[in-house]
């Protein structure tokens, strides 16, 4: 019982950090930050795709706090992070792939914790 509460508390802390990261990142994409738009174009993606990813990140960040949707929101964000990691590995120095890879790892923890909570 104490282990479950401790895991839930840890998942909440990690979720809070992920929420801040994805709200910030998503908001920058939604406002059309020039440096992000240039990166998306460099990678061969349209501005519309940048806005889609930004909206998905904001929605996912909110979804991490909705108990029944948290695992699905985490999975959606994890898919975006896999894509981001692959794109950076193809187009940039390997160090640029580290941030989305770390976010993916944190999301994996939250997905597992929240999935167990939903299943009961």
Mean pLDDT of the chain: 94
- Which of the four pLDDT bands, split at 50, 70 and 90, describes residue 16? very high
Please determine, for residue 64, whether its predicted confidence score (pLDDT) is greater than 80. Answer: yes
Q: What is the pLDDT of residue 35?
A: 93
Q: Which long-range contacts (CB under 8 A, 24 or more apart) does 53-57 make?
A: 53/26, 53/29, 53/80, 54/25, 54/26, 54/27, 54/28, 54/29, 54/30, 55/26, 55/30, 56/26, 56/80, 57/22, 57/23, 57/25, 57/26, 57/29
Q: pLDDT tier at 1 (50, 70, 90 boundaries)?
A: low
**Predicted pLDDT at 3:** 67
| Domain limits for position 80 | 2-119
Query: What's the confidence (pLDDT) of residue 8?
Result: 84
Specify the number of domains making up the chain. Answer: 1
């Amino acid at each position: 019982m104490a282990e479950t509460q401790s895991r839930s508390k840890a998942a909440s802390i990690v979720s809070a950090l992920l929420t801040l990261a994805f709200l910030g990142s998503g908001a920058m994409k939604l406002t059309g930050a020039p440096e992000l738009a240039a990166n998306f174009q460099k990678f061969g993606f349209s501005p519309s795709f940048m806005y889609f990813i930004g909206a998905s990140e904001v929605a996912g960040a909110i979804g991490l706090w909705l108990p029944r949707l948290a695992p699905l929101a985490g999975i959606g964000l994890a898919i975006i992070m896999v894509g981001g990691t692959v794109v950076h590995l193809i187009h940039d120095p390997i160090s640029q792939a580290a941030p989305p890879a770390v976010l993916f790892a944190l999301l994996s923890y939250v997905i597992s914790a929240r999935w167990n909570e939903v299943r009961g």
